[in-house]
């Protein structure tokens, strides 16, 4: 029977289970990646698992998020990650080497391999033909410790690309169109698999832009075939031996099909405060802007930066606009300098930032009050920029560059961009890996542990009824940025859950943490797609620290639901939207006999305040049941 590329990749790595959409499976993991925002917790969990060396072919620890060192906390975390990673056989990419997904694509990613990372944008690797997905830190620690990962077999959506992009349209506009069509929850439980004659017109970095931002669909991952363009990229990176051809079989059947004619696309823009709130640039043209930020793991490749430099060359950034550019890796920065493109960027009046995540993760460059900020990033969630009153729009690098010059939102014209057609990937990239540490060069290394690194909370085994108040009721599409804010002030405390928990859900309700602690714990009530966004398990660990025992929502994002289960928090789904409407913050709920609820998949819940009873669904596989009964994955493994 003809197979999709997705199922081919999974079949080659299948340890147990059946490749049927919705079924539990276990797959062999070839590679892992971590970054320093989630990595400290991940390595604390790896230590708790008691393994000496990782069981993967290649694991890499990147330091690219918490780069600002205004106190000892970030530097201490970096020292801990470097030492504990090297001790366990993990490569380390030091600060300044670049953003994890960009560097991994350049130096480690390989067609046909599986990759799991403690960052939601790990699907970037799908641009080179990998099955690459994001997960919580504990799942990544388990993958490093065992060489395998448990997941739910996804459905597969065929995204057929036809034709060729116009000169003023980019890969960013392609994924914005997919988001416009499918929404931020349209990919939950699915893989986006790209086929069609349009695929061959896209380079690996362009494909990676699309797979990277596929995370905003809620998708498990996205994947492109490995073809001649893939081979060219790997040869240029000095890694020709990593190439293998991969594609779906002719006649493969998919669960869904989406068709996009690349030639008909126009420059697009995502309006505040969701990546799927998409419109045309033309419709909003003339909007006064204050800030433009170009970079992030979505759009910071050499190809992107060379095109930006060409548009900025000989021009001047509008005096009322602040333009920042952060190249995705040291390789990109070096090659921009060698080709004179860096000078063109600097001469325009742009500020060049370190090769790191920077403003995308909220680490600096917060815009002014009520500012309009254009960003080439992947997320424009409320307050993610660090300025609550700012309006953040997501655009392509071409739109960003011409707008920075104009001082208003401007659509790049085909005339503006015709000269960019001659800009292609080099036949050979400049390769210098001296900021990547090989663990085989370090023997008998001692782990460094600073005072900001605290133990992570452990859940409680289920016993009697859970009787607690609803300490918050939220609306739809609550993000992990809402649950556990990620900004320059809080990022240094990612290894200090007791402190971090005091800011849990603070962008939604500043009193939530205080109220939940005072009540001795609580229950969260959420709407659709609760927990969308980042893979950060801090959005589960912080509520656990506060005593949250259950979240009842209309639906959950995949990674957050997995993280809740790993932490021993019940992820309950309303059987009826009417039940959600009836509940109020402050209602005392009695989750009756949660052990039976886990076993049966249905929980009976009494509203002690209002005097009515309702049910909520709790669909679990055997592994997840054992985890929740034990009070979390760590307890389950110890048991």
Q: What are phi and psi of 17, to 5 degrees?
A: 95, 180
**Residue 499 located in a structural domain:** yes
444: tokens are 């008998």
Asked if residues 511 and 520 have their Cβ atoms less than 8 Å apart, the reply is: no
CA distance 243 to 335: 24
Averaged over 134-139, what is the pLDDT? 94
Assess whether 499 and 554 both reside in one domain: yes
Of 572, 349, 577, 600, which is closest to residue 468 (Cα–Cα)? Answer: 572
Q: Give the residue from 397, 416, 435 where a domain finishes.
A: 416
Burial class (CB in 10 A: 0-12, 13-18, 19+), 143: buried
Report the predicted TM-score, pTM, of the whole model to 2 decimal places.
0.93
Is it the case that residue 387 has pLDDT exceeding 80? yes
Q: Cis (ω within 30 of 0) for the bond into 15?
A: no
Asked if residues 539 and 584 have their Cβ atoms less than 8 Å apart, the reply is: no
Q: Give the residue from 264, 285, 306 where a domain finishes.
A: 264
Assess whether 238 and 277 both reside in one domain: no
Report the CATH number that the domain containing residue 549 is assigned in CATH: 3.20.19.10
Is it the case that residue 87 has pLDDT exceeding 90? yes
Chain centroid to Cα 452, Å, comes to 25
Percent of the chain scoring above 90 in pLDDT? 91
Assess whether 238 and 283 both reside in one domain: no
Assess whether 477 and 563 both reside in one domain: yes
Three-state DSSP class for residue 473: strand
Buried-exposed string 164-178: b where 16+ CB fall within 10 A, e elsewhere:
ebbbbbbbbbbbbbb
Count of domains observed in the chain:
3
For the stretch 465-475, pLDDT in tens is: 999 999 999 99
The CB-side HSE value for 195 (13 A sphere, CA atoms) comes to 20
Is it the case that residue 639 has pLDDT exceeding 80? no
pLDDT of residue 577: 83
**Residue 456 located in a structural domain:** no
CA distance 517 to 134: 31
Three-state DSSP class for residue 480: helix
Asked if residues 29 and 140 have their Cβ atoms less than 8 Å apart, the reply is: no
Assess whether 19 and 92 both reside in one domain: yes
Assess whether 18 and 139 both reside in one domain: yes
**Residue 93 located in a structural domain:** yes
Chain centroid to Cα 177, Å, comes to 19
**In 3-state terms, the chain is what percent helix, strand and coil (to 5)?**
35, 20, 40
CA distance 41 to 31: 19
Of 169, 217, 154, which is closest to residue 5 (Cα–Cα)? Answer: 154
Is it the case that residue 604 has pLDDT exceeding 90? yes
Three-state DSSP class for residue 249: coil
Assess whether 276 and 222 both reside in one domain: no
Q: What is the DSSP letter of 134?
A: E
pLDDT of residue 67: 85
pLDDT of residue 487: 79
**Residue 439 located in a structural domain:** no
Is it the case that residue 316 has pLDDT exceeding 80? yes
Please count the residues of the chain. Answer: 639
Cβ neighbors of 487 (< 8 A, separation 6 or more) are: 362, 363, 366, 383, 386
Assess whether 498 and 402 both reside in one domain: no
Cβ neighbors of 18 (< 8 A, separation 6 or more) are: 25, 153
**Residue 434 located in a structural domain:** no
Domain that holds residue 28: 5-264
Of 103, 179, 121, which is closest to residue 394 (Cα–Cα)? Answer: 179
pLDDT of residue 534: 85
Assess whether 245 and 375 both reside in one domain: no
**Residue 436 located in a structural domain:** no
Cβ neighbors of 490 (< 8 A, separation 6 or more) are: 500, 503
Of 536, 520, 526, which is closest to residue 480 (Cα–Cα)? Answer: 536
Assess whether 163 and 279 both reside in one domain: no
pLDDT of residue 362: 83
pLDDT of residue 490: 87
pLDDT of residue 70: 83
Assess whether 470 and 540 both reside in one domain: yes
Chain centroid to Cα 85, Å, comes to 21
CA distance 251 to 142: 36
Q: Give the residue from 208, 239, 264 where a domain finishes.
A: 264
Assess whether 250 and 369 both reside in one domain: no
Query: What is the phi-psi region of residue 244: left when phi exceeds 0, alpha when psi lies from -120 to 50, beta otherwise?
Result: beta
CA-based angle 461:609:550, to the nearest 5? 25
pLDDT of residue 31: 98
**Residue 435 located in a structural domain:** no
**Residue 431 located in a structural domain:** no
Q: What are phi and psi of 358, to 5 degrees?
A: 55, -130
CA distance 448 to 461: 32
Report the CATH number that the domain containing residue 313 is assigned in CATH: 3.30.499.10
């Amino acid at each position: 029977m003809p197979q999709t590329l997705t199922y081919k990749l999974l079949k080659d790595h299948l340890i147990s289970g059946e490749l049927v959409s919705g079924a539990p499976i276990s797959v062999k993991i070839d590679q892992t990646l971590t970054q320093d925002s989630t990595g400290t917790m991940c390595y604390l969990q790896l230590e708790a698992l008691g393994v000496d060396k990782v069981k993967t072919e290649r694991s890499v620890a990147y330091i690219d998020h918490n780069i600002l060192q205004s106190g000892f906390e970030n530097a201490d975390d970096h020292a801990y990650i470097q030492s504990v990673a090297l001790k366990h056989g993990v490569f380390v990419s030091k600060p300044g080497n670049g953003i994890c997904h960009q560097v991994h694509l350049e130096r480690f990613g390989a067609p046909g391999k599986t990759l799991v990372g403690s960052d939601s944008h790990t699907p970037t690797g799908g641009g080179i033909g990998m099955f690459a997905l994001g997960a919580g830190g504990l799942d990544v620690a388990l993958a490093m410790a065992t060489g395998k990962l448990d997941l739910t077999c996804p459905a597969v959506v065929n995204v057929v690309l036809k034709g060729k992009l116009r000169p003023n349209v980019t890969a960013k506009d392609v994924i914005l169109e997919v988001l416009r069509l499918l929404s931020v929850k349209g990919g939950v439980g699915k893989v986006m698999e790209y086929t069609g004659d349009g695929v061959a017109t896209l380079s690996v970095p362009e494909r990676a832009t699309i797979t990277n931002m596929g995370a905003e669909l809620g998708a498990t991952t996205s994947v492109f075939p490995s073809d001649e363009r893939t081979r060219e990229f790997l040869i240029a990176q000095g890694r020709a031996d990593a190439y293998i051809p991969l594609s779906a079989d002719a006649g493969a059947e998919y669960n869904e099909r989406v068709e996009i004619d690349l030639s008909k696309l126009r420059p697009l823009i995502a309006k505040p405060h969701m990546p799927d709130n998409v419109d045309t640039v033309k419709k909003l043209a003339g909007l006064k802007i204050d800030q433009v930020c170009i970079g992030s793991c979505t759009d910071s490749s050499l190809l992107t930066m060379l095109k930006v430099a060409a548009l900025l060359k000989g021009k001047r950034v509008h005096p009322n606009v602040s333009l920042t550019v952060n190249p995705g890796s040291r390789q990109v920065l070096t090659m921009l300098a060698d080709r004179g493109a860096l000078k063109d960027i600097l001469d325009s009046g742009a500020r060049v930032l370190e090769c790191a995540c920077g403003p995308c993760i909220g680490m600096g460059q917060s815009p002014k009050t009520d500012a309009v900020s254009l960003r080439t990033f992947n997320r424009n969630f409320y307050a993610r920029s660090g300025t609550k009153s700012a309006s953040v729009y997501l655009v392509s690098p071409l739109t960003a560059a011409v707008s920075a010059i104009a001082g208003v939102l401007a659509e790049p014209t085909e005339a503006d961009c015709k000269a960019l057609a001659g800009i292609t990937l080099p036949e050979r990239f400049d390769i210098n890996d001296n900021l990547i540490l090989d663990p085989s060069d370090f023997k008998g290394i001692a782990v460094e542990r600073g005072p900001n690194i605290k133990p992570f909370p452990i859940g409680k085994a289920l016993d009697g009824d859970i009787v607690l108040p609803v300490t918050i009721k939220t609306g739809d599409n609550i993000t992990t940025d809402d649950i556990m804010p990620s900004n320059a002030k809080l990022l240094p405390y990612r290894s200090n859950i007791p402190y971090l928990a005091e800011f849990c859900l603070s962008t939604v309700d500043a009193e939530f943490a205080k109220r939940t602690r005072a009540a001795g714990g609580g229950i969260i009530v959420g709407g659709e797609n609760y927990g969308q966004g980042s893979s950060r398990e801090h959005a589960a660990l912080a509520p656990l620290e506060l005593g949250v025992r259950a979240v009842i929502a209309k639906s959950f994002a995949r990674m957050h639901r997995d993280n809740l289960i790993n932490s021993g928090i019940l992820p309950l789904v309303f059987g009826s939207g009417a039940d959600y409407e009836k509940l109020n913050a402050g209602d005392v709920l009695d989750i009756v006999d949660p052990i039976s609820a886990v076993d049966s998949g249905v929980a009976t819940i009494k509203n002690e305040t209002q005097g009515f009873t309702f049910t909520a669904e709790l669909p679990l596989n055997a592994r997840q049941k054992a985890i929740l009964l034990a009070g979390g994955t760590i307890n389950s493994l110890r048991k």
